[in-house]
Amino acid sequence: MLLNLIPHLINGLALGLLFALLALGFMLIIGVMEVINLAHGSLFTIGAYVALAVMAPDGGLPYAFMEPYYALPAIPRYLIALVVGPLVAGAVGMGLELCLRRTYGSDPLYGLLLTFGAALVLEELIREIWGSSEYYLPVPQQISGGFIAGNLIYSTYRIYAAVFAAGMIGVLWLFLNKTPYGAVIKAGAHDSEMVRALGYNLTRLRLLVFGFGAALAGIAGVIMAPIWGIRPVVGVDAVIPAFVIIVLGGVGSFWGAVSAGIMVGLVVALTAAFLTDWSLLSMYLLLLAVVTFRSRGLAGKSSVLEA
Amino acid sequence: MAMDYEPKQTTAWITGPIALSLVVFGTLPLWIESIGLYQYLGVEVLIWVIFALGYNLLLGYTGLPSFGHGAFLGIGAYAFGLAQFEVWPNLWFCLIAAFVVTGLFGAATALFLSHRRGIYFALMTIAFGQIYYFIASKWTDVTHGEDGLLNIARLPVDLGVVELPLAGNAQLYYLCFAVYAVLVLLLWRLTNSPYGRVLRAIKQNETRVAFVGYPVGLYKWSVFTLSCGIAGIAGALFAMAQEGAYINVMSLQWSGIIVLMVLIGGGFVSFWGPVFGVILYFVARDVLGAYTETWLLWFGLMFVVLVIFKPDGLAGMWHDLMRRVQPRPAPVTASKAEG
Amino acid sequence: MSKSTFTRRSFLQTSLLAGTAGGATLFGPWKHTRVHAAASDKPIRIGLTHDASGQFANSGQAERRGTEMAIAEFNEAGGVLGRRIDAVWMDTETNPQTGTRVAERMITRENVHFLVGAIQSGAANAISQVAQKYGCIYFNTNSSSPTEAGKNCHRVKFVWDGNGENFSKAAARNAIQTFGKKWFLIYNDYVWGQNTNEATKKVALNYGAEVVDEVPIPVGTRDWSSVLLRIQQANPDVVAAAVGGDDFKVMRQQVRDMKLDGKPAWINNQQDWPDIYGLGADAAFGVFGTTWYHYLDLPGVSDFVKRYQERYPTTRINVPGNVTYNGYVAMRELLRVVAEVGSTDNIKIIKALEGRVMKAADRMQHHDAVIDADSHHVQQTIYLAQGNPKPKDDTDYFQILSSSDPDSIRADAGKECKLETYADTPNYDQG
């Protein structure tokens, strides 16, 4: 029995890292901007579709024009996807930030509503461009397929994705804590007036932070696409766990979000293995249990969002 | 704060806008077909108006953004159907049952929510909405899951001496209208009562209200419960209109759409915001939906533009227009024209 | 705009405000026995209730191509009864609430003669409740829930797709002999999944299978890794899956990713063409059912495919699949019956449809199909297929393994159907 448990624990950990990756961009934007970005899922979806266009000949780019490009081997194309996906998502995110500007200073509810509307619009635009049907994202052979561990087969891609997610989490932490840019961003999360007083351009900081958060959503989209598949509605699957993780971890806390992500991953994986019919509910029950006793989540600080 | 209702309370039971709404809705079945729409649309609009008015007690008046309110509409519909099938197929009984059962669910949920604020409140309502959604989807013995609880009858209006059938859409419409008329009067009084004043104060500054000594938690708990009860009645009417109770309205998407409707109409600045918003949503959807497959794109764009440039919605535009047409008289008399 | 040209149901005659002066014109009595003098030059209007958004947007548009193709072919041949056929389409959004509203609008405002189209059972059922209330004939083209022609059947509703039970019967019988007796069942935890799983289990046990585990999966599951690990730990011969919609797509993706599609053997209930098109032949994992395939070796098939391609040269799905096919044959049969009966009167048409036998050659299937008079379910050939190891071109995803004749896979769900009587079905004729 205990031996049976081990693969599920590893699987849960892998899933948790992916969930944490999903939530990072969401966390950054909520922490610094105090905006609940409901379009996070759409930016995620944009990342996935852009990766599709970069990787697959039938992925939306004009094939005849791009033919020599698709002759490239898969690995360079995949690396391009990993860069272009987040770049496009980031650019769209910056556009969204420009729209959001007028809502600053009023009830944070307006930011939430604006991004809700933007999510509707982006999803419909994606439908216009790529249609409603399903796509697979082809990945290089080196990271696809399964491998055998003991008497079980496990997905190579998942291990790659989990390692990638862990790496991203590490890089982001270093960026936020060891670079001057990170310090400014963190200061912005703490007290935006202070940032202004120190002579930084707050307007530009917000634009860049939103773009950065959106790019993180885009990168999560590229990474999750081979696991979830690509459909216009796939963003909803991304934004809801991101939400839960942020509340669970506590708004504005980096390690809170990461540990909440891993916790959700473990809980979902274990319930899916042993109490499958409760696996979707388990995430919310966990949330309720934690938030009932710790009203700001695992590591949340008080913030203007409560006013 | 710039965006708020007229501060002054009224004591009148019937105001101009109330009378106007009663006339417009009261005669709607007579002219709706001649403007190219159809009776069922009227029924659906009025039911959502009832739901939205109840919802705006939370969102507009108390400043509590619930993103799981669709769940309570669904619970009301199931409660109505189950009361009809399992207990007593009488319209009044089933309506009351839907109100009470949904109110109880609301009351229990509100225990977890009444000490929350702002975004945390919103996030918790999402969690509760999802929990109810999954339970409804899973508990197929009771709700029949995705298939829906079917064959819910449009119970006749039993007035003791006569029984009026509701089978036609126009007939059902008049039941909804009766509910609307009673509700709008009660809500108007409620929002202009001392209770309503406390709600508005909580929206402005919860901490200060608590300092003054009001039991803020109790106010938030009671308004959430009441709002859920109203959602239950709307759900019951909806179950009759569709002759079935379906799970879809309980989804996060529909809970989001009710927020969208109320905001687009201007629920933050006007009692009538939800009414405008619901009408705009359903008519736009019906008219645009018949011409373009991407109506949601256009509607979404319209919504985004509105939030950016006119966040107080249609009602806000109306206020501006009125102000421009007739320059504001002295503030003492101005308050009568609220809405 | 013409108003209510149909004979409404009798209950409308006792009206709420009958007798009050103002209301009388509006609320009845609805005793206009309208004579449709100009009926012959009035087009026949058909309401198309195909999804264009929501979970089944893609399939909804696929069946729309089928129904519109049939209508266009009839119009090109001079229409029906000398009348042109008009199609009015509205998006039903894969959602019963929208289904109800669209059906009300189609009947009371657009004055359609018939309603055609459905993928999701919830929406299909909602539409059929409204249709039954008015008496308007409704064709459920593609919703395969056994309840559709079972406990939620209606006199005005005809169900054109094979249902989950048909598919599991066809699949289970063959799979036990081929793959082995240790079965692991997974199903979506909602009505369609539960019913289909029950049917599969019954057949499997009948043929001597041993069910090692049975796992309900919540609708909306996006991560299947835990379940896939659990399946491996149980090490069954066969996994029988009743998983639908987006959940199925995600599961397929993850099974493929883990390379678990070889052993154990997978039995998937049904594979709709729009859900797989574009993903390549290796996306079709396991054994699954379908009602039609564009490389069936039968006369007429290639001609049908050609006509489809001429009509829809730019669509991404450039060969018709089962969903389009079901839409096409259903619409074609409706128009034929209208021509045979010589009117658009609902009861006459219903009677002509009940028990109607449709020749195999005409339907491009291997066996004759018949519309069951007691459940209104089209009993038709079900094909078992698997991913094609030797595709002849890049649309050749399936390898057809066998065909089952309708009698051998008849669903028990039909026994739960109690159709309304003719007397209880309002007379409906838009003239």
Q: What architecture is domain C164-290?
A: 3-Layer(aba) Sandwich (3.40)
Q: Is B297 in contact with A120 (Cβ distance < 8 A)?
A: yes
Which among B220, B92, B76 is positioned nearest to B149, based on CA atoms?
Answer: B76
Domain that holds residue B215: 28-251
pLDDT of residue C250: 87
Q: Is B305 inside a domain boundary?
A: no
Mean pLDDT of A2-15: 88
Q: pLDDT tens, B110-135?
A: 999 988 877 778 888 988 998 999 88
Burial class (CB in 10 A: 0-12, 13-18, 19+), C17: middle
Tokens of B252: 């996060």
Q: Residue B217, SS3?
A: helix
Q: How many residues does chain B have?
A: 339
Residue C421 is given by DSSP the state P
> Whole-number mean pLDDT of chain B?
88
A204-236 burial by CB neighbour count: b if 16+ within 10 A, else e? ebbbbbbbbbbbbbbbbbbbbbbbbbbbbbbbb
Measure in Å the smallest separation between the Cα of A65 and chain C Cα atoms: 19
Percentage of chain B exceeding pLDDT 90: 55
Q: Is A284 inside a domain boundary?
A: yes
Tokens of C279: 């993903």
Q: Would you tell me which residues 133-152 of chain A have a C-beta closer than 8 angstroms to some C-beta of chain C?
A: 133-136, 144-146, 151-152
**Position B202 confidence tier, pLDDT thresholds 50, 70, 90:** very high
Q: Is A158 inside a domain boundary?
A: yes
Q: Is A4 inside a domain boundary?
A: no
Q: Pick the residue with more confidence: B140 or B273?
A: B273
Poorest-pLDDT segment among A19-23, A192-196, B296-300? A192-196
Residues of C in contact with B51 (CB under 8 A): none
Q: Is B127 inside a domain boundary?
A: yes
Chains in contact with A, where contact means 3 or more Cβ–Cβ distances below 8 Å, are: B, C
Q: Which CATH superfamily is domain C35-162+298-380+421-431 in?
A: Response regulator (3.40.50.2300)
Cis peptide before C426 (omega within 30 of 0): no
CA distance A133 to A130: 8
Q: Pick the residue with more confidence: B336 or B141?
A: B141
CA distance C137 to C117: 11
Residues of A in contact with C226 (CB under 8 A): 8, 11-12, 268-270, 272-273, 276, 279
- pLDDT tens per residue across all 431 residues of chain C: 333 333 333 333 333 333 333 333 333 333 333 334 445 678 999 999 999 887 788 899 999 999 999 999 999 999 999 999 999 999 888 889 999 999 999 999 999 999 999 998 889 999 999 999 999 999 999 988 888 999 899 999 999 999 888 888 888 777 887 888 899 999 988 777 888 898 889 888 988 889 999 999 988 888 899 999 999 989 999 999 998 878 888 898 888 888 787 778 898 888 889 888 878 777 888 889 999 999 999 999 999 999 999 999 988 889 999 999 999 999 999 999 999 999 999 999 999 999 999 999 999 999 999 999 999 999 999 999 988 989 998 899 999 998 999 988 888 888 899 999 999 999 999 88
**Position B31 confidence tier, pLDDT thresholds 50, 70, 90:** very high
Of C11, C95, C219, Cβ closest to residue B248: C95
pLDDT of residue B8: 63
In this structure, how many other beta carbons lie within 10 angstroms of the beta carbon of residue C72? Answer: 14
Residues of B in contact with A125 (CB under 8 A): 297
Q: Is B223 inside a domain boundary?
A: yes
Domain that holds residue A172: 10-306
Which among C47, C52, C151 is positioned nearest to C102, based on CA atoms?
Answer: C47
Q: Is A102 in contact with B309 (Cβ distance < 8 A)?
A: yes
Q: Is C97 in contact with B150 (Cβ distance < 8 A)?
A: no
Percentage of chain B exceeding pLDDT 70: 93
B33 and chain C: CB distance < 8 Å anywhere?
yes
How many domains are there within chain A? Answer: 1
**Position A221 confidence tier, pLDDT thresholds 50, 70, 90:** very high
Q: Is B33 in contact with C109 (Cβ distance < 8 A)?
A: yes
pLDDT of residue B48: 97
- Say if residues B303 and B296 touch (Cβ distance below 8 Å): no
How many domains are there within chain B? Answer: 1
Residue C43 is given by DSSP the state P
Tokens of C248: 């199925």
Q: Is A78 inside a domain boundary?
A: yes
Mutate to test the interface with C, among B31, B37, B40, B142 (most CBs of C within 10 A): B40
Measure in Å the smallest separation between the Cα of A266 and chain C Cα atoms: 10
Q: Pick the residue with more confidence: C62 or A293?
A: C62
* The Cα angle at residue B136 between residues C146 and A290, in degrees rounded to 5: 140
What are the domain boundaries of chain C?
35-162+298-380+421-431, 164-290
Residues of B in contact with C9 (CB under 8 A): 167
Mean pLDDT of B129-144: 87
Q: Is A229 in contact with C253 (Cβ distance < 8 A)?
A: yes
Give the pTM.
0.87
Find tokens 């509503």 and name the residue: A113
Q: Is A117 in contact with B304 (Cβ distance < 8 A)?
A: yes
Q: Is B9 inside a domain boundary?
A: no
The pLDDT of residue A100 is above 50: yes
Mean pLDDT of B51-70: 94
Residues of A in contact with C229 (CB under 8 A): 7-8, 11, 152, 154, 273
In this structure, how many other beta carbons lie within 10 angstroms of the beta carbon of residue A72? Answer: 11
Domains C35-162+298-380+421-431 and C164-290 are alike in CATH topology: yes
Phi-psi label, residue A87: left if phi above 0, alpha if psi -120 to 50, beta otherwise: alpha
Residue C54 is given by DSSP the state S
